[in-house]
Amino acid sequence: MSKIPTYELRGANKQLFASKEPEVMLSGPADTGKTVASILKVHAICALCPGAQGAIVRKTQTSLAGSVVRTFQRITKNCGIESYGGENPTRFIYPNGSVIWLGGMDNSDKVLSSERDFIYCNQSEELTLHDWETLATRCSGRAAIIQHPQLFGDCNPGGSKHWLRQRAASGRLRMLNACHKDNPTIYDKDGKLTESGKQRLAVLENLTGVRRKRLLEGIWATSEGAVYDNFDSAIHVKTRSAQEMRRFFLAIDEGYTNPAVILLIGEDSDGRWHCFREFYERGVLQSVVVDLAKQWSKEVNPEFVAVDAAAAGLVADLISVGVRAIGGKGRVLDGIYAIQNRLKVQGDGLPRYTIDSSCTNHINEFESYIWKPEKDVPVKEHDHSLDALRYLNDVLCVPTGSWSAEDIKRTFEPIPAADGTEVIELGDFNIDLTS
């Protein structure tokens, strides 16, 4: 039998090891021993339950090979476990027949090809809700070898509206909160900092802003220096009825390594937008995005689909399947300022942009998109759904030859005359649609 390496499990790490719930997440700041505790649980299951079938996954195959796999090999050295796949293993096989499959969600066919007794997901905050629910379907207990099939993972805190927090709040996932005292290499058994612990915590103490909150303090926090610092989930996250909308749009940001995004946005009679639905996935082909945009278009009949003007191939593919796609090409800062204005609460107590609570990635980006220090330029991260939203604003705010006079009149509010007594309609002007 493979031996279980000696390691003192404490606090939340110990709770993870003993947990039996179908979905469990070990959350906490960096260097709290989360990954080691998770790997020990994986190893114990496979060593003690002959024939168990498990998996270790991460968002991408590349990130898995360079992180948790190396830690697994270090911890289980000399345990008689065979590795297959060379420098980047695809599975580990135990002497008793247990198997651990390895993969990223960008290349998960073999990992998820059949039922698993357990799946451990490293750095789960990187996953989408769709990823997590896909994993859950593969360890539901059908033909299980172990008594309590389980999907479990570890994560560092993300934004305050991250889908993991939402899932935990709903009761579908048990959230365990680790701290640095749970790591015996940071604090000894008497609760005193080890020499190694002093050095490692000193590195985390030097962090600033939201990274300090998340990686040192373990807080699910919105970024300081946020581009959309007036975003407030209590105000901007709500449920609205599609019946309140007078028209709909789709907004798309292409991606493969980065997420491909589709947002379904409605506009009411007061010009307020509401995001009803999101698609947010890495590693999907453009054909998948086009097919989904076509499907959503059949459902809601949007006036158009806003896309990055530079994505000529995507625009052409959408048009080829009968979807009216228009490219947005405004300045980034102009788009940011326009969305900031939409977030402002108006005189009637309502903002001009709201989001359904199911759009967790869109919400998380609003909370995580930040300015570069001392520069009027945003950091190019956590901006994929926000770019899609900006393209929609660009198309609506910049008249093009693709628009009719009626389009323009519906888009812009009437202009009051100087004395405020009469309203001048845009249709009264001679608008050159080809300019």
- For 217-256, the pLDDT digits (tens) are 998 876 667 888 888 877 898 889 999 999 999 999 999 9
Distance CA(167)–CA(389), nearest Å, equals 25
Distance CA(378)–CA(389), nearest Å, equals 15
Distance CA(55)–CA(139), nearest Å, equals 10
Question: Could you tell me how many helices (H) and strands (E) the chain has, helices first?
Answer: 15, 16
**Percent of the chain at pLDDT above 70?**
87
Choice among 115-119, 134-138, 293-297, 376-380 with the minimum mean pLDDT: 376-380
By DSSP bridging, strand 273-281 and strand 353-355 are parallel
Single-letter code of the amino acid located at 337: Y
DSSP 335: H
Which pLDDT score, from 0 to 100, does residue 426 have?
Answer: 36
Indicate the pLDDT class of residue 313, thresholds 50, 70 and 90: very high
**What's the rounded mean pLDDT across residues 201-214?**
81
Q: Above 80 in pLDDT, residue 210?
A: no
**What's the rounded mean pLDDT across residues 148-159?**
91
Helices (DSSP H) in 83-227: which residue ranges? 129-136, 163-169, 195-205, 209-215
Distance CA(325)–CA(198), nearest Å, equals 56
- Residue 30 structure tokens: 């960096």
**Percent of the chain at pLDDT above 90?**
54
Which pLDDT score, from 0 to 100, does residue 4 have?
Answer: 54
Q: Which domains does the chain have, with CATH numbers?
A: 11-215 (3.40.50.300), 233-398 (3.30.420.280)
Indicate the pLDDT class of residue 99, thresholds 50, 70 and 90: very high
Distance CA(213)–CA(368), nearest Å, equals 13
- Residue 190 structure tokens: 């008497």
Nearest CA among 317, 312, 253, 306 for reference residue 280: 253
Distance CA(221)–CA(211), nearest Å, equals 9
In this structure, the chain runs to a length of: 435
Pick 276 or 189 by higher pLDDT. 276
Average pLDDT over all residues of the chain: 85
For 321-370, the pLDDT digits (tens) are 999 999 987 788 889 989 999 999 988 889 999 999 888 889 889 988 88
**What's the rounded mean pLDDT across residues 102-107?**
85
DSSP 187: B
Which pLDDT score, from 0 to 100, does residue 415 have?
Answer: 41
- Record the pTM: 0.58
Q: Above 60 in pLDDT, residue 402?
A: no
Which pLDDT score, from 0 to 100, does residue 432 have?
Answer: 34
Which pLDDT score, from 0 to 100, does residue 209 have?
Answer: 64
For 41-92, the pLDDT digits (tens) are 999 999 999 999 999 999 888 778 778 898 899 888 888 899 988 888 889 9
- Let me know: does 67 contact 25? Beta carbons within 8 Å: no
By DSSP bridging, strand 415-416 and strand 353-355 are unpaired
